[in-house]
Amino acid sequence: MASLKHLPAVKGAKVLMVGAGGIGCELLKTLALSGFQDIHIIDMDTIEVSNLNRQFLFRQSHVGQSKAKVAREAVLKFRPHISITPYHANVKDSDFNVDFFKQFNVVLNGLDNLDARRHVNRLCLAADVPLIESGTTGFLGQVTVHVKERTECYECQPKPAPKTYPVCTITSTPSKFVHCIVWAKELLFAKLFGDKNQANDLNVRSSDGASSSKQAEDVFEHRKDEDIEQYGRRIYDHVFGYNIEVALSNEETWKNRNRPKPIYSSEFMPNDLSQQNGSMEKNGAANDISSVSAMASLGMKNPQDVWSLKENSRVFLEALKLFFLKREKEIGNLTFDKDDQLAVEFVTAAANIRAASFGIPLHSLFEAKGIAGNIVHAVATTNAIIAGLIVIEAIKVLQNDTKNYRMTYCLEHPTRKMLLMPVEPFEPNRSCYVCSETPLSLEINTHRAKLRDFVEKIVKSTLGMSLPLIMHGSALLYEVGDDLDEEMVANYAANLDKVLSELPTPVTSGTMLTIEDLQQELSCQINIKHREEFDEEKEPDGMVLSGWTQAPSVVKDDNESIANAGSTSNEPPVEAEKNDEIEIPPEKKRKLSEVSEAVDPDLSSVDGDTRNPDKLQVLDDDDELMIFDNWDSVTNKKNRTQ
């Protein structure tokens, strides 16, 4: 319970929680026990069985129900007189606009993805509401405070782009099991069960590519009246046999590499597939999609077993068959989900068969699921610690106790004899395009890149805009929204497929584009620089965004030192390595009050801030997602994380 001197601020506060998962459950409980009276919760998820080992407000009987609503009911059982308002919705919905956020005294994040975090950060800035961010990954965790114009915003320090691999590595020369997982998940699974209109060439790049194009076009179509088992074998033989032979025809590729081995279904499976079929009865009721499992059908029980090539082949064909027989209505709209058992089985089997072809060690379903879903097993104790720290910082914010704001990092191993490491917040990054609206620069080939590439890869993916509006001077190039008439929608759709330099108002080198998101009340400018060529491996998107730099460092005070812990990125690419060590170097800090006197007199009244960018951030993920950021290079220590 909060102390008596804190109670007025706590009882009178209106608090918004975003996320009711691992951190959220602990946070709601702690808020209620600390005397908070008016709590609102937003969460779009429903409860899954896998949540029950750490989200202690939920029980087996709650599976399938709204997290926000069940969490409310659970807390009201021991705090019946407080007000808890749940919203089973996406925080990016239009209902949760700037005016909605303005009604709260503080916003507390317990999210598990970068996109939603950035969105909430921008709404809090627009509404001028303090935000307390949090995240956990295993034994590691962090809590950070973000107050407009007093501390850095969530996006003041750039989040490194997810580690990716060139398409040619994935499709032609895999050398790691993760390459096989990406191929199985992003290419094969998407080709068979996802959007049929999406460009996706599964043929290996080779000089013989043209001659194989016809077969590539036809092979993935399930022909009318074709037996599903024969279809499965045809797919198997094409991707694991024929495609490998096409790749082998390019001798230059294999001069310094181990040659892969083509694999055909006849090597492991009898011509009479009925001898190997699993039992459909083992997959439960016909309408119970969640129980459909190739492993269950084949009588395979242990997900930690490493299957033989023959067993992987059986699982591959059985999973493909079950998708068409049990889940045919979903085909064409499916995307890989780590919680979809049949999808995980299919991807595991496909990745293992490809790995066997390229001489890469096979992995169990348990291991493959971890790689495909970037899973790190959650620790309930870490969530509880982080939730407690969030409430402590929330009370400071409500009392406007700026001198005592702290970013606190929960470490797995003691550093400077501490497992909880407090760090004074940093001042806003004057180069942050979100809170300082600094112009950005984009290098792009304006004669080849289409407006669609710019919108998808830069505006939406990199900048995190939800409802973007793109202007060149007074000319509107692109806009989305429900209030657009059909003619406008058609014009903007046509613009998407035009090359930048061929738009009605051409975008060329030197063009300054203005990008706005009306929902986030965010605006930024991008200066376009034409560039002819890009390195396919280092710059696979064919464009480079820059201009978002860290704030300049200052003279450090020798009388005060503190170590920084660090933070992870939230967008979990499957390529992330999981076995790297983390180094946390000590560093020295200086209070903003001392810095401001020497640097900027206008900032002297901003207490509790610091001007020091030489920091590490720790984690940004709740629950099971993991991807580590790069530690800052200013420490001159070896970079040990991806």
Distance CA 215, CA 601 (A): 71
SS3 for 422?
strand
Residue 274 placed within a domain: no
Residue 277 placed within a domain: no
**524 classed as catalytic:** no
Residues 467, 480 within the same domain: yes
Annotated binding residues for ATP: 19-24, 43, 51-54, 67, 112-117
Q: What is the DSSP letter of 94?
A: T
* Domain final position from 546, 573, 592: 546
The answer for residues whose C-beta is within 8 angstroms of residue 97's C-beta and 6 or more apart is: 123, 519
Q: Could you report the per-residue pLDDT of 606-633, keeping only the tens digit for each?
A: 222 333 333 333 344 444 333 333 323 3
What are the φ and ψ backbone dihedral angles of 113, each rounded to 5 degrees?
Answer: -150, 150
Residues 240, 322 within the same domain: yes
Residues 179, 320 within the same domain: yes
Residue 283 placed within a domain: no
The model's confidence at residue 319, banded by pLDDT at 50, 70 and 90, is very high
* Domain final position from 546, 570, 594: 546
- Alpha helices (runs of H) in 12-81, residue ranges in sequence order: 22-33, 67-76
Average pLDDT estimate for 510-530: 92
By C-alpha distance, which of 183, 571, 171 is closest to 347? Answer: 183
Angle of CA points 628, 29, 84, to nearest 5°:
110
Residues 154, 225 within the same domain: no
DSSP characters for 258-279?
Answer: PPP----GGGTS-S-GGGT---
Look at the chain and report how many structural domains it folds into.
Answer: 3
The model's confidence at residue 344, banded by pLDDT at 50, 70 and 90, is very high
Residue 602 placed within a domain: no
Residue 198 placed within a domain: yes
pLDDT of residue 278: 55
pLDDT of residue 614: 34
Q: Where residue 23 sits, what CATH number does that domain have? A: 3.40.50.720
**Partners of 406 in the beta sheet?**
none
Q: Could you report the per-residue pLDDT of 460-475, keeping only the tens digit for each?
A: 988 889 889 999 998 9
By C-alpha distance, which of 152, 165, 125, 618 is closest to 386? Answer: 618
Residues 100, 175 within the same domain: no
pTM of the model: 0.70
The answer for residues whose C-beta is within 8 angstroms of residue 411's C-beta and 6 or more apart is: 139, 140, 418, 419, 420, 421, 565, 584, 618
Residues 225, 121 within the same domain: no
Residue 573 has pLDDT above 60, yes or no: no
pLDDT of residue 209: 41
* Domain final position from 361, 391, 423: 423
Residue of 168, 180, 410, 524 marked catalytic = 168
Q: How far is CA 633 from the centre of its chain?
A: 24
Q: Where residue 324 sits, what CATH number does that domain have? A: 1.10.10.520
Residue 565 placed within a domain: no
Annotated binding residues for Zn(2+): 153, 156, 432, 435
Residue 441 has pLDDT above 80, yes or no: yes
Residue 117 placed within a domain: yes
Residue 306 has pLDDT above 50, yes or no: yes
Residue 432 placed within a domain: no
Residues 12, 44 within the same domain: yes
Residues 22, 153 within the same domain: yes
Distance CA 167, CA 173 (A): 10
Residue 309 has pLDDT above 90, yes or no: yes
pLDDT of residue 277: 53
Retrieve residue 418's tokens: 């501490």
CB of 479 within 8 A of CB of 518?
no
Average pLDDT estimate for 341-351: 95
Residues 358, 310 within the same domain: yes
Residue 217 has pLDDT above 70, yes or no: no
Residues 144, 186 within the same domain: no
Annotated binding residues: 19-24, 43, 51-54, 67, 112-117, 153, 156, 432, 435
Distance CA 402, CA 8 (A): 18
CA dihedral 382→388→389→391, nearest 10 degrees, is 150
Q: Where residue 468 sits, what CATH number does that domain have? A: 3.10.290.20
- Looking at per-residue pLDDT, the higher value among 73 and 603 belongs to 73
Residues 172, 309 within the same domain: yes
Residues 181, 117 within the same domain: no
Retrieve residue 86's tokens: 């749940």
Residue 366: which domain range? 167-205+220-269+291-373
